[in-house]
Structure 1
Amino acid sequence: MEKGNQTSISEFLLLVFSNWPGHQALLFSLFLCLYLTGLLGNLLILLAIASDHHLHTPMYFFLANLSLVDLCLSSTTVPKVLLNIQTQAQSISYPACLAQMYFSMMFANMDNFLLTVMAYDRYVAICHPLHYSTIMTQHRCACLVAVPWVIATLNPLLHTLMMACLQFCSDNVIHHFFCDSSSLLSLSCSDTSLNQLMVLAVVGLLFVVPSGCILASYAHIISAVMKVPSAQGKLKAFSTCGSHIALVILFYGAITGIYMSPSSNHSTEKDSAASVIFMVVAPVLNPFIYSLRNNELKGALKKALSQSKIFSLVI
């Protein structure tokens, strides 16, 4: 299209699920169940940690932040998906699309940082147990969360402002279930080379580096655990980190499939499925992974619920 004929796009169409006309009810039920399960699970974790002072430790402090971020991450996309499926109106306004892109990037980045911080926390706890209380001080824990929040807030803001400067022509169809930066860049009729460079820089610095730190942390953890003489001691040490490893594999595996795999392997279905995994499924699994084998957390939750008036009325 010639530059002189460019028109201003006021809305985009999210059409990734429009190819499944006979499965709309199933998709709606699936997303609704996942969202409500994640919402309830993460809220219960926050309630348990806030109500029990015995859980006011670095590990649970990071877990509370992760639950809050997971709750917000799924809330940036799933309600709009549910609305679109229910109303069959697939449109999203241009400002709302940019806002959704910003918040989804922010909470995804924060999820990434918190997984890294939690890996470091487990590294200190297992490899330097005698110095844990002196290393993981209240001030250091606050910094390990505050600095990532600043980065996670400012980095997407830069991408959003750069995206707002681009020109969008007649094509407004996004083959995704939310406004992803890569999908928007492919629709622009402006020069997006700088935007693409920034996306690569983010993937390199904000995902590859943290994932490398996680691998290094667990390499030291495995090395330390293998030196434990008893098999029971090894099992106990690995069980404390198993849930974290599972969540990390799920989260980074999905991101790798979207942003770090060859372009020949990409398709709308594969990218959407991978996005659903790390933006919807991972936040749902978080409360189950961290609570099912955690007696402290389950005990605190039972205590908090038993003291609530709502729970008393139910029983």
Structure 2
Amino acid sequence: MPSLWLALGILASLPVGAEPGRPRVVEFHGACDASGAVVRGGGLVVVGDDEDNVLRLYDANRGGAPLASWELSAALELERGKRRYPETDLEAATGLGDLGLWLTSHGLDSKARRQGARFLLFATRTRADGQIVVEGRPYRTLLDDLLAAPALARFGLAEAAARPPKAPGGLNLEGMTAALDGRTVLVGLRSPVPPGGALVIPIENVPALVRGERARLGAPVQLDLGGRGIRSLSSWRGRYVIVAGATGEGDPSRLFTWSGAPHDGPVADPVDLAGLNPEAFATFENRDEILLLSDDGTRPIDGVPCKKLKDPARKRFRGAWVRLSGAP
């Protein structure tokens, strides 16, 4: 294992692009549990963490400390507890036009309690001065919409929603991307994985949700990812890239590409993700590599799991620049 980390460290220092199947690794500081990202201009990326309610701006190529950060708890109208605001459990993000869209897990907490902060879909906008602000009001009834949709009734989502997310079959939304049509947003489920494959659900009017409209859902699609669920989902250069992983703790994640056509199956990419825990994409249309962000909350730093560190300056997560085989 030490030789693996040494190799990754050497790759991180190389100025050249990533080779097929061989990631170039960059470290980002100030957080551990990267879970969603929205690309900005100038090679920048805004990253969300599933252990706090802070968005952090980074140089995607250099990594290092955040260039800016925004704590959104008050803007998301969260109810403050005795000591702090509740965690939203942010799990996915995407850009759509001039908005950043952010999705929480929509699952119960570890004690099987329903916490309102975990059931949000919200939008952000970057002002002319570079500051990020919440657009409209968070949408809080997406789970109700999913459970009420006749087209989704056969997937057992009501039963899944009653289980903790780490229990077998517990509901967990972890993927989201703007669709290739530039209007629809696709939501991918890590769990449950019904017979027939991982579930992708289109939402046709996401920008209107933060203005008070109800969600319009499209026809669901199932993807055969070898029994895995969707941990991250992104559109890039006319197709989709998918991180697929076990619904709980299990086999290493795999990277897939998909044309977006319902009759086309996803295709596994041979890139080696060993040692990484990828949970978010940053896909720049003008780059030949995609950036995978690793949720490193349990990765030891000086013998302590990253998420347990008290000093934020010591926290870090990895990003891996990956060149796909047959990349366009």
TM-score range, shorter chain: under 0.3
**Rg: which structure is higher?**
1
Q: Give the structure with the larger strand fraction.
A: 2
Return the TM-score normalized by structure 1: 0.25
Q: Give the structure with the larger helix fraction.
A: 1
Return the TM-score normalized by structure 2: 0.24
Higher relative contact order (CA 8 A, sep 6+): 1
